[in-house]
Amino acid sequence: MNPGESDSRKLLGRLKATLAKDSAGQERLDRITTIIADSMGLEVCSIYLFRDAETLELSATEGLNPEAVHKTRMRVGEGLVGRIARTKRPINTADAPAEKGFRYMAETGEEVFSSFLGVPIQRLGEALGVLVVQSKEARAFSEDEIYGMEVVAMVIAEMTELGAFVGEGAALAALHQRPATFKGGIGQEGSAMGHVWLHEPRVVVTNPIADDPAEELKKLEAAIESLRVSVDELLATADGADKEQMQVLEAYRMFANSRGWRRRMEEDISRGLSAAAAVEKEQTAARARMSQVPDPYLRERLHDLNDLSNRLLRILTGQGKETGAEMPEDPILVAANIGPGELLEYGRKLRGVVLEEGSVASHAAIVARAWAIPLIVHAGPITTEALNGDLILVDGEHGVVHLRPEDAVVDSFRDKMAMEAAQQERYVSLRDKPAESDDGVRVRLTMNAGLMADLPSLESSGAEGVGLFRTELQFLTQSRVPRRGELAQLYSRVLDRAGDKQVVFRTLDIGSDKVLPYMKPQDEPNPALGWRAIRVGLDKPGVMRMQLQALIRAAAGRQLTVMFPFIAQLQEFQDARELLIGEIERERRVGHILPTEIKIGAMLETPSLAFSPAQFYKDADFISIGGNDLKQFFFAADRENERVRRRYDTLNVSFLNLIEMITRRCAEAGTPLSFCGEDAGRPIEAVTFAALGLRTLSMRPASIGPVKHLIRRTNLAELRKVIDTARGSGAQSVRPAVIEYLYKPHPPVA
Ligand code: PEP
Ligand code: MG
């Protein structure tokens, strides 16, 4: 054992004895600073903790002026202490006043101290404060001393987490009691207030200091062994063709066998940390680096290391998913990420979902949209901050999450929700009224669905049918290809529930972001432009034929409406239609009852199809514009990429010119046209489309009220003139002119 290790162990032993005493938070902090200064033979030891998200406060000191405690404050980034909190890196200097950014705090009396060593107090990438030692003698601290300080800082972080310093003023408020706000991406609009339910509860390390290091080393060894076995098992059962999964598992194995990783944890234990605290210290370091490395490959590996540490921690502490905690009445799910299957298991009780990762067009987003609950993605390190049962507000309009909000925020959020509810009430009164514009144009409003559970919305929203039934959800949420009988039964129930309202079934739209768990993933450089949707269906028709058979059987004796996704050229539509007609023939031959009427349509989601030969417009029984995809291809702007997603306005003149051309070509061919992308559910976009001639709009059920409300008070012919004038003026987008016309008092348009 090197002297550093034995010193560190002694110091931790003294800290443990202090922490075990039943004393107030401030007293504990004071004792800690005294013990550290004494053990290290230094004049000063201070602990700075966060007072709020931006400010650190001197919370305890040995050696500086005690009068400065709870008075001296600095902002994150300010002075050496502020810089440590921001960068989460130690500062070690023999001459602190000469250090860049040094800020002299007169009230502390620190001018006489020359050398300075500060390390972040952090846990899992979250900065909690800063631990500092100082001395008059100008000397730089050794690597060993820095290491020792980091170990002590880890213990302080764990104790802060456990609430050891609660109750002594704002700066000592237990962590996870402070309000926090996260800004993320909007996966699904809406507002929700509720209490946190963590998909994966955090592991709590209750004993950061080892009683018996030899024992802790054994525990670590056993845990690593069991981790290694489980990774090997995963590797043995993994699908070798799934390159991405194999890569992740290989990386796991590499880390699980990594000597460096293991040696660092063993050393932490030798210095007095418990095995669990040592794992968490490594995880904290990985998380801190994760937020700093720009190289995506390296970041991925750090991500793997973080995941692996999590597994190891669960093995060591025995803390799994089951914590015995009870789900709140109004749960808002908080998770790093979640698949659609897991999300569906929670059922409709969830009020909202907040994810650290995820994407707007992910499967989880599709489910949240179907449930009409707000979803925020990329919401910062929320799983580190949130605790089960915390109050949480989800503002899906602005992509903001308020965790443990102040009363004033709660009040104004309540007002906002009340206003929205009142508005919804007004929409309910419109339910049975037609979406007829002020100048007498009738627009058909239908809803988008994807689950059986969506069907009740047909009545409650006043939708006139299902304009888009996304059939892939059934495929995404199972671990195997659903059987024909199961599908036929489901589609039949959907049709039963819809009664005399039409349901447009879209055939399987997979590929790109929608990857079936049981399908061999394609290693494609650009999946959005890759082998997806109808391309898969035509190249490997087995599953699509099975699905078509299920649809035909479900619609026996009634109307069947089918549309094919992602058609890029006439031939694809003709081939898909042939396939359906072939299946009908087959069903006829085997004597099954056939649908009474069959309508076969196409989704227009690629610009190429808009410019296709007139034959396409004649052949299709109906066409539905898939604006989500059409827009991304038209502007070459990835719908899942937050950076570019909103860069191009849907009301951009070029896009509207395209929509208008499609409308005209459909009118010429006498082919019904609808719009079923997300934009159809946005009132301003919806009335603009209606003014351009669209007569059917399909949207999530919650949008039907707002869209109908606006259509009913709009004169579409006048709006059309406003749009044409704006288009003629050289404007890039007609939005300003449309908003001006819709919402500002205006003289009648000539
Ligand atoms: C679309 O692209 O607009 C559409 C409705 O299909 P999805 O969002 O399922 O790709
Ligand atoms: Mg699409």
Q: Which residue, judged by its Cα, is nearest atom 4 of ligand 1? A: 626
Q: Rounded distance, CA 670 to CA 668, Å?
A: 6
Cα of 308 vs centre of ligand 1, distance in Å, is 36
Q: Across residues 378-399, what is the average pLDDT?
A: 89
Tokens 């401030």 map to which residue? Answer: 26
Q: Across residues 468-485, what is the average pLDDT?
A: 85
Residues in CB range of 104: below 8 A, 6 or more apart = 97, 110, 111
Residues in CB range of 399: below 8 A, 6 or more apart = 183, 184, 185, 186, 376
Q: What integer pLDDT is reported at residue 169 of this predicted model?
A: 46
CA 600 to chain centre: 36
Q: Rounded distance, CA 244 to CA 527, Å?
A: 14
Q: Which residue, judged by its Cα, is nearest atom 9 of ligand 1? A: 470
298 CB neighbour count, 10 Å cutoff: 12
Surface-to-core class of residue 640, CB atoms within 10 Å of its CB (0-12 exposed, 13-18 middle, 19+ buried)? middle
Q: What integer pLDDT is reported at residue 473 of this predicted model?
A: 79
628 CB under 6 A from ligand 1? yes
Surface-to-core class of residue 712, CB atoms within 10 Å of its CB (0-12 exposed, 13-18 middle, 19+ buried)? middle
Helices 683-691, 735-743: crossing angle, 10 deg rounding? 100
Q: Which residue, judged by its Cα, is nearest atom 1 of ligand 1? A: 626
Q: In what order do the strands lie in the sheet with 73-75?
A: 73-75, 55-62, 44-50, 126-135, 115-123, 91-93
677 CB under 6 A from ligand 1? yes
Pocket probe for ligand 1: among 369, 529, 676, 682, the residue whose CB has the most ligand atoms within 8 Å is 676
Q: Which residue, judged by its Cα, is nearest atom 6 of ligand 1? A: 626
- pLDDT band, residue 328 (cuts 50/70/90): very high
Q: Which ligand is closest in space to the CA of residue 513?
A: 1
Please check whether residue 289 is in contact with residue 301, taking contact to mean a CB–CB distance below 8 angstroms.
no
Q: Rounded distance, CA 410 to CA 290, Å?
A: 33
CA 540 to chain centre: 33
CA atoms within 13 A on the CB side of 300: 10
User: Which superfamily is assigned to 213-317 in CATH?
Assistant: PtsI, HPr-binding domain (1.10.274.10)
Q: Rounded distance, CA 148 to CA 592, Å?
A: 78
Surface-to-core class of residue 574, CB atoms within 10 Å of its CB (0-12 exposed, 13-18 middle, 19+ buried)? middle
Q: What integer pLDDT is reported at residue 665 of this predicted model?
A: 98
Tell me whether strands 44-50 and 55-62 are parallel, antiparallel or unpaired.
antiparallel
Surface-to-core class of residue 171, CB atoms within 10 Å of its CB (0-12 exposed, 13-18 middle, 19+ buried)? buried
Write 28-34 long-range contacts (CB < 8 A, 24+): 28/159, 28/164, 28/165, 29/59, 29/60, 29/165, 29/168, 29/172, 30/60, 30/62, 32/60, 32/156, 33/60, 33/61, 33/62, 33/63, 34/62
Please check whether residue 528 is in contact with residue 630, taking contact to mean a CB–CB distance below 8 angstroms.
no
Q: Which ligand is closest in space to the CA of residue 631?
A: 1
Q: Rounded distance, CA 277 to CA 269, Å?
A: 8
Instruction: Single out the residue of 433, 519, 478 nearest to residue 241, CA to CA.
Output: 519
Q: In Å, how far are 204, 299, 491, 548 from 453, measured between CA atoms?
A: 37, 39, 12, 22
* Averaged confidence pLDDT in the chain: 87
- Measured from the Cα of 624, ligand 1's closest atom is 5
Cα of 712 vs centre of ligand 1, distance in Å, is 27
369 CB under 6 A from ligand 1? no
- CATH code given to domain 437-743: 3.20.20.60
CA atoms within 13 A on the CB side of 184: 31
Query: Of residues 365 and 471, which shows the higher confidence score?
Result: 471
Radius of gyration of the chain (CA): 31
- Measured from the Cα of 627, ligand 1's closest atom is 3
470 CB under 6 A from ligand 1? yes
- Quick check: 355 pLDDT over 70? yes
Q: Rounded distance, CA 58 to CA 81, Å?
A: 10
Q: What integer pLDDT is reported at residue 674 of this predicted model?
A: 98
Query: Of residues 111 and 545, which shows the higher confidence score?
Result: 545
Q: Rounded distance, CA 286 to CA 305, Å?
A: 7
- Quick check: 537 pLDDT over 80? yes
CA 461 to chain centre: 27
Pocket probe for ligand 1: among 506, 515, 604, 629, the residue whose CB has the most ligand atoms within 8 Å is 629
Instruction: Single out the residue of 321, 303, 316 nearest to residue 388, CA to CA.
Output: 321
- Quick check: 105 pLDDT over 80? yes
Percent of the chain with pLDDT over 70: 90
627 CB under 6 A from ligand 1? yes
Q: Rounded distance, CA 568 to CA 612, Å?
A: 9
- Measured from the Cα of 448, ligand 1's closest atom is 5
Query: Of the given ranges (72-86, 298-312, 350-364), which has the lowest mean pLDDT?
Result: 298-312
Pocket probe for ligand 1: among 509, 534, 623, 650, the residue whose CB has the most ligand atoms within 8 Å is 509
Please check whether residue 6 is in contact with residue 35, taking contact to mean a CB–CB distance below 8 angstroms.
no
CA atoms within 13 A on the CB side of 402: 19
Tokens 């910062």 map to which residue? Answer: 380
Please check whether residue 658 is in contact with residue 679, taking contact to mean a CB–CB distance below 8 angstroms.
no
- Measured from the Cα of 678, ligand 1's closest atom is 3
- Quick check: 296 pLDDT over 70? no
Q: In Å, how far are 399, 636, 637, 734 from 647, measured between CA atoms?
A: 17, 11, 8, 15
Q: Is 318 left (phi over 0), alpha (psi -120 to 50) or beta?
A: left
| Coil, helix or strand at residue 738 | helix
Cα of 605 vs centre of ligand 2, distance in Å, is 6
625 CB neighbour count, 10 Å cutoff: 29
- Quick check: 668 pLDDT over 50? yes
- Quick check: 230 pLDDT over 60? yes
- Quick check: 565 pLDDT over 70? yes
- Measured from the Cα of 630, ligand 1's closest atom is 2
Residues in CB range of 196: below 8 A, 6 or more apart = 328, 331, 332, 334, 386, 387, 388, 389, 390, 391, 392, 403
Cα of 613 vs centre of ligand 1, distance in Å, is 23
Q: Rounded distance, CA 522 to CA 77, Å?
A: 45
Q: Which residue, judged by its Cα, is nearest atom 8 of ligand 1? A: 628
- pLDDT band, residue 172 (cuts 50/70/90): very low
Q: In Å, how far are 103, 109, 724 from 115, measured between CA atoms?
A: 14, 14, 72
What six digits make up the tokens of 382? Answer: 């929320």
Q: What integer pLDDT is reported at residue 101 of this predicted model?
A: 84
626 CB under 6 A from ligand 1? yes
681 CB under 6 A from ligand 1? no
Q: Rounded distance, CA 295 to CA 510, Å?
A: 30
Cα of 470 vs centre of ligand 1, distance in Å, is 9
Query: Of the given ranges (213-222, 257-266, 326-335, 428-437), which has the lowest mean pLDDT?
Result: 257-266
List pLDDT tens digits, range 111-143: 889 999 999 998 877 788 999 999 999 888 998
Q: Rounded distance, CA 452 to CA 481, Å?
A: 18
Q: Which ligand is closest in space to the CA of residue 625?
A: 1
Q: Across residues 642-650, what is the average pLDDT?
A: 84
Q: Rounded distance, CA 145 to CA 42, Å?
A: 12
Tokens 């070798």 map to which residue? Answer: 240
Please check whether residue 436 is in contact with residue 714, taking contact to mean a CB–CB distance below 8 angstroms.
no
- Quick one: CA dihedral 267, 269, 275, 278, positive or negative? negative
Question: What are the sequence ranges of the domains in the chain?
Answer: 3-161, 180-201+323-412, 213-317, 437-743
Cα of 566 vs centre of ligand 2, distance in Å, is 7
What six digits make up the tokens of 528? Answer: 């959005």
What six digits make up the tokens of 365? Answer: 């987003």
Query: Of the given ranges (224-233, 650-659, 740-749), which has the lowest mean pLDDT?
Result: 740-749
- CATH code given to domain 180-201+323-412: 3.50.30.10
Cα of 470 vs centre of ligand 2, distance in Å, is 10
Instruction: Single out the residue of 532, 568, 562 nearest to residue 548, CA to CA.
Output: 562
- Measured from the Cα of 676, ligand 1's closest atom is 5
List pLDDT tens digits, range 571-625: 999 999 999 999 999 999 999 999 999 999 999 999 999 999 999 999 999 999 9
- CATH code given to domain 3-161: 3.30.450.40
472 CB under 6 A from ligand 1? no
| Coil, helix or strand at residue 317 | helix
Instruction: Single out the residue of 364, 234, 231 nearest to residue 305, CA to CA.
Output: 231
234 CB neighbour count, 10 Å cutoff: 14
216 CB under 6 A from ligand 1? no
